Amino acid sequence: MASHGFWSLGGDNAGANTGSQSPSTPRAWCQAAAQKLSGGFGSKLCALLNVGEVEKPAEPAAEQPPQTAAGSCGCNKSCTCTKGTDVGFSDLYSTDLLPAMDGDTKTMTFLQEVVDILLAYIVESFDRETKVIDFHYPNELLQLNNWELQDEPATLDDILISCRATLKYAIKTAHPRYFNQLSTGLDMVGLAADWLTSTANTNMFTYEVAPVFVLLEYVTLKKMREIIGWSDGRGDGIFSPGGAISNMYAMLLARFKMFPEVKEKGMSSVPRLAAFTSEHSHFSIKKGAAALGIGTESVICIKADECGKLIPADLERRILEAKQKGFVPFFVSATAGTTVYGAFDPLIAISDICRKYNIWFHVDQRCYQYVVGQDTQSTSSLSVCIMHLLTPFRNLK
């Protein structure tokens, strides 16, 4: 039997249809598509393909095989599966999905339902006529939906209901009228990348386990080192889940650079350390000192001017005072864009002071997403906490 190619996606089993048209014809296929696809997409597709003038003749019913047509289920081969048929989720559970036996149809249908919910939410989020948030107080929101974790497993239908409820009462961060100091907007390429990485579900601890993602991490970090000015992207770096831990990593590097024995012998092997940062710096500097056993009292805050910028003269004065008291200055953290004023500390002047007293210089860029790097090729010690600039690493901070 001759293949109808594209039109066979509608099904070749003409004998199972009682309509006046065979589903193998272009017009019938588009009519079916128009019913299945929302937003008039099927009708637009038919118009694009100029369907309706000439129809391909239907194959005789006697020549049809007794199974669903090749390609109607997406298998790209003749099969007897029932993909595309309605699946009820009220009596199905996660254990009915893949890798359960014969779970492919249920899985595809369930995931398509989830995708439809997500796509509808995306379109709605960009609609200026909709609310940024359907706000309810916590006690009201608790009554509107059953958010409690149940002892019994939820059906797939319950899960879909929860998906809709979650998006219904969530803040639409892609809304044109949504503004926030940390995040706004929805990047479609980044969203697609997020879906891709979640689907791959890859741990990135070795190249053997995640060859593509480890390679992408390598080239992205190299590019970021080039952006901040390191020759040929030399050095090293890691992605971290946020700015706070990035600053702590920087302090960890600075301590190890000056006292490598601390790794084996602990804090008892090093003298009393002193770190320096602006009085307008992020709270995570002191938080990191506490976590590393250095102590918050060892973090010395430097005065800022009327614009919120660290005063270099006061920094040098406090370094000399700390040395006279027996402290060992090991770390200076400058801020590129403070959280309140948005001020940029005078990085060059601070760098000169750090070079003069052989102190690790860290720059904390207070932006949405961060990476820590160490320039191992330079004679001076430097780490940078910098906003990521490259798609698709939307969730890496």
Determine contact, residues 289/299, Cβ cutoff 8 Å.
yes
Average of pLDDT values for 77-93?
65
Q: Specify the pLDDT at position 241.
A: 87
The residues pairing with 373 across neighbouring beta strands, listed in sequence order, are 237, 384
Cβ partners under 8 Å of residue 320, min gap 6: none
pLDDT, averaged across the chain? 80
Q: Report the 10 Å Cβ neighbour count for 115.
A: 11
Residue 86 or residue 110, greater confidence:
110
What would you measure as the largest C-alpha separation in the chain, in angstroms? 100
- Omega prior to 392 cis, within 30 of 0: yes
Say which range, 113-127, 204-218, 300-314, 363-377, has the weakest mean pLDDT: 363-377
Average of pLDDT values for 68-86?
44
Question: Model-level pTM?
Answer: 0.67
| pLDDT 10s digits, 297-350 | 999 999 999 999 999 999 999 999 999 999 999 999 999 999 889 999 999 999
Among residues of the chain, what percentage have pLDDT more than 90? 61
- Alpha-carbon Rg of the chain, whole angstroms? 30
Determine contact, residues 365/392, Cβ cutoff 8 Å.
no
For β-strands 236-239 and 370-374, DSSP reports them as antiparallel
Crossing angle (nearest 10°) for helices 26-36 and 41-48: 150
Which whole-number Å values give the CA distances from 240 to 248, 249, 361, in the listed order?
11, 9, 19
| pLDDT 10s digits, 356-365 | 999 999 999 8
Q: Specify the pLDDT at position 46.
A: 54
Cβ partners under 8 Å of residue 94, min gap 6: 153, 156, 159
Question: CA 297, CA 293: separation in Å to the nearest integer?
Answer: 11
Residue 118 or residue 65, greater confidence:
118
Reported as a pLDDT band with limits 50, 70 and 90, residue 367 is low
Q: Specify the pLDDT at position 5.
A: 39
- Omega prior to 241 cis, within 30 of 0: no
Give the residue carrying structure tokens 């107080």: 137
